[in-house]
Structure 1
């Protein structure tokens, strides 16, 4: 199973610049390696306790307060092909974040996890930007590895670009990071402000602990889970809990 998503060989320089700005901002937020710093302890709940908390409108608990310092990240800011594998490892598991559920005795269905869907889209957008930087995509050629080979593929990839841009934008709004970011300031010898701006570096954010999502994605490489009867709004934590005490046994 693969996520649908991205690109057009007619992407304009303006769109490329917009995508680059979005990419740099989001590669910090949606990396599966939240921090090199150990996470703060967070409360573990059993499946029934998680369900009770959600029914009461209590979202999570302290598991949503893992500290993450936004900083200059040499990997995420580098569009070189030399580190493609390293970037992919940070954003997406080897199985693209899909885990499998038993549909019947002969067929199984892939279930996606939203964070990894966004990671897939970021990687695809990164590839498109690389092609533009390398000069491999123009309005009249289809030489890009990501570019279409014919008009039908071109239309599909245009739809894919729009899909991924829309998906990532909605996820950013859904995450709703309300951290207040102070500006950096450049002053003259007298202490007068010459220039200032906001890059978001050097600020700690309260982020969701992604450990359980990563764990389930890894298990999804080799295990098939019983169909639990998906409902709108289901999450990895609400279905499988915050530790391995889920009633959904794998096969």
Structure 2
């Protein structure tokens, strides 16, 4: 009987030892996982700032001012209806920044860069209405075929990356239409649906204000939203930085 009890006690002691050993391994592994999670922090897109503002909504429509606008401003066309005048500020969307040596340097803003590229590519499709535009970030045609081809390839790549970055997840149901044979079909054209959008007004205001007083380099962060100069004027600028019709939310 005594030997049987000793045997049971030895088994119990072994089980307790193994239990504490297992717990020790678990806790040490948890500590390692915690240290790893601290080393590899999750990075988010700069636009996902902690200071979030409510999104605005836009209903995509098939008949917009852009549909009938010319590709570019030219003497033979109404400059008030050109793509540049409907999409870009007068200086092409350039942010004026005062650097440490007190010189003024041109900085880009991604939305305006994307729209510039779209205008350049549209000019390739409709060359008869495309002209050089001095206020653009760069001309669509330099006269050098190789340089132009590099620029156009850059624009395709840049716009593709911007679309992927935005990751618009609006679901677009199909609607019925008639094809050229008169048959009723279902099509998905993305029109008539509301999208959640970011407000473009701070970008226009930043460009406008920097043209009057250049932004100090120390105030420039990763995004316009995060930069300190955007906090100086939160109220709507009452028409002094009027945005063209395509920017008006509907």
Q: What does residue 237 of structure 1 align with?
A: 225
Indicate how the Cα distance of structure 1 residues 170 and 85 shifts in structure 2: closer, same or farther if over 3 A, else same.
farther
Q: 1:173 to 1:107 in 2, by over 3 A?
A: same
Bigger Rg over Cα: 2
User: Superposition pairs for residues 1-251 of structure 1, below 5 Å?
Assistant: 60-63=51-54, 65-78=55-68, 80=70, 82=77, 85-86=80-81, 87-131=83-127, 147=141, 149=143, 153-186=144-177, 194-228=184-218, 234-240=222-228, 243-244=231-232
TM-score of the two chains, using structure 1 as the length reference:
0.59
Deviation of 1:195 after TM superposition, in Å, equals 0.6
Residues 166 and 83 (structure 1), Cα distance of their counterparts in 2 relative to 1, 3 Å cut: farther
Structure 2 unpaired stretches of 5+: 1-44, 72-76, 130-138, 235-250
Q: How many residues align?
A: 172
Give the C-alpha shift of residue 170 in structure 1.
Answer: 0.5
Q: Which runs of 5+ in 1 are unaligned?
A: 1-53, 135-144, 188-192, 247-251
Q: TM-score, normalised by structure 2?
A: 0.59
Q: Which has the higher contact order (CA 8 A, sep 6+)?
A: 1
Contact 2:172 2:190 in 1 (8 A): yes
The ranges of structure 1 where at least 4 consecutive aligned residues each deviate by more than 4 angstroms after the TM superposition are: 57-60, 145-148
- Relative to its length, the structure with more helix (as a share) is 2
- For residues 162 and 243 of structure 1, do their structure 2 counterparts lie closer, same or farther at Cα, with a shift above 3 Å needed? same
